[in-house]
């Protein structure tokens, strides 16, 4: 999931900080996801999906272009 997030973030040209401010998700949460320390909850996935204007399934699916 994190790699898909990184691709969308980089494509949009924003930082984790900007996404955190815009979505209300703590910036340290992104670090936890990147290190595998925690997995995103569905509510946070929904916020990220809405922010990047993609369906939540984009993050849930295991296959695809990532």
Query: Domains of the chain: which residue ranges?
Result: 2-60
pLDDT at res. 51: 97
Q: What is the pLDDT of residue 28?
A: 93
- The confidence score (pLDDT) of residue 49 equals 96
Q: Is this model's pTM higher than 0.85 or not?
A: no
CA 24/CA 18 separation, integer angstroms: 10
For range 33-46, the mean pLDDT: 92
Q: What is the mean predicted confidence (pLDDT) over 49-63?
A: 87
Helix crossing, 16-23 with 42-52: angle to 10°?
110
Rounded CA-CA distance 57/14 in Å is 22
Sign of the Cα torsion 36, 38, 42, 45 reads negative
Q: What is the CATH number of domain 2-60?
A: 1.10.260.40
d(CA 17, CA 20) in angstroms, rounded, equals 5
Residue 26 has pLDDT above 90, yes or no: yes
Q: Quickly count: other Cβ atoms within 10 Å of residue 52's Cβ.
A: 19
């Amino acid at each position: 999931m994190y790699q898909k997030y990184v691709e969308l973030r980089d494509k949009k040209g924003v930082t984790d900080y900007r996404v955190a401010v815009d979505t209300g998700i703590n910036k340290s949460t992104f670090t936890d996801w990147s290190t595998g320390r925690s997995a995103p909850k569905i509510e946070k996935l929904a916020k990220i999906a809405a922010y990047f204007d993609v369906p939540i399934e984009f993050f849930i699916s295991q296959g695809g272009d990532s």
